[in-house]
Chains A and B, each alone.
Chain A
Amino acid sequence: MSNSDIALNRENGRKSIWNFLASELKPKGEIFTPFNIISIPVIILGIILIVIRFAKGLGAVTNLTQEVPWGLWIGFDVVTGVAFAGGAYVITFLVYILNMKQYQSIVRVTVLNGFLAYVFYAGALLLDLGKPWNVVNPIIGNSFGVSSVLFLVAWHFLLYMLAQLIEFSPAIAEWIGARRARRILSAMTIGAVIFGITLSTLHQSGLGALYLMAREKIHPLWYSEFIPILFFVSSIFAGLSMVIFEGSISYKVFSNQISDKDHRSHHDIIHGLAKICTITLYVYFFLQVLTFVHGKNWEYLNTRMGHWYLVEIFGFVLLPMILFFYSYRKYNILLVKVASIITMIGIIINRLNVTVIGFKWDAVNHYYPTWKEIVVTLTVIFIEIWIFRWVINRLPVLRESPSWAKSH
């Protein structure tokens, strides 16, 4: 239960760290769970496809064209994935800035999720680059394209991963028993949190700003100068919905690690997050209305894309807002989870509408992803879940910290 049985005995010195880490690499738990059975073949197939992609070029694996250079990997893996990772900055904002201690118990797992999400989606981005070995160019200083929004987004990704690593590092220190390191790292938390929230604001909106120059290429119902603001606000409830969704799964799968009182308080946490989602969705709905009016897009409503737009706004923004409102008032946890799933689908729809569906919507040969692109996307997600599971089973993320760390 406590970490004393796997904690490092510091008196043994350096050699023990390697033994310890080596022992930690061994798998714990069953090999043939349903998730493993599905994910392992997909991962193997995905790795093969990735090798083909590097050997024969992007065209061999994707449906990208000269008119549609960014497809599923950018539109879904990077843009949507990062929106879902927004839970980390919202939860750290609630706990460390607003001092709402009731959310303290989910900070670590949310930050871990956020960190893994950014690492893997930045990794997915590397798969999409034509010359990935040149990715160091905008970093090492001989080619700073400061006029580019992508430059800003890339740098923010790097810095934000660093901030999240610092926020999460006390858990690593507790795992290997490094007491002094843990003290130092804990003191850096508030700085990392403030830095992280600032970075998040800018790169969540920055992902939207990427598309600002594609003025005539994105359908007018989704193109406006307010894309950055809309992306930022929607990342708040996207992240929280993911926290609710992923938390429900984790608390079931890893329930043996979680104390009884944490189990009970989890419902209160979900309940509280539902309230925040309600308000943010309300605000976002009005922002969408304002954007629509400002863009004078009335004549587009009665087209196929217009109907799809109405489905997105009313079915996946207004409806979940009402569901969150009702489930908050009635303390109906199941309804909160349903609302969060609808919200997440809405975010996927919205991001894909801007990046893929609405992008060059009028092209003769419309882009759709190949099965290979989908398999590679799933591979990235599955590997991320594997790493997540590995960390949860070994580090004090969901379980209690070792007693020497509790005094914090």
Chain B
Amino acid sequence: MDASKIIIKITLLIWCLLWLNFTARDLYKGGRLDEYKILARSDAEGKRACTYGRRFYEFLKFAKVILPEEAFYDFAGVKDFSLESRRGIYYLYPGMKVERPVYILVYEKPGYARDGFARYAELDNGCFILKKQ
């Protein structure tokens, strides 16, 4: 066997070991396999809930049902520019997150209040919607 063949085989071996190692590590150590088992059995709603986080997705679905389609809202309890906020903005469109909202979507903030706003609808004690008076 000539040198070039040996070099190619060794390189391929190292390559495949690293490839399999990092793929397997993602699946097993990273917990992806368990996630995929759940996701593969879920319908579209289940996949969204699993991805967004069940609690947050339930809150978004609640807000989508309650709010008028093109509502001007803001979040309380969801950090601006966070991934959660981005997903919320996407999910609730054509509703729009604005600085002067008509609705405030309160997420996991029991007892949250703001002047000029009154409780409009609630999912539970921590998650509810305030509306401008």
Partners in one complex: no
Residues of A that sit less than 8 Å from B by CB? none
Residues of B that sit less than 8 Å from A by CB? none
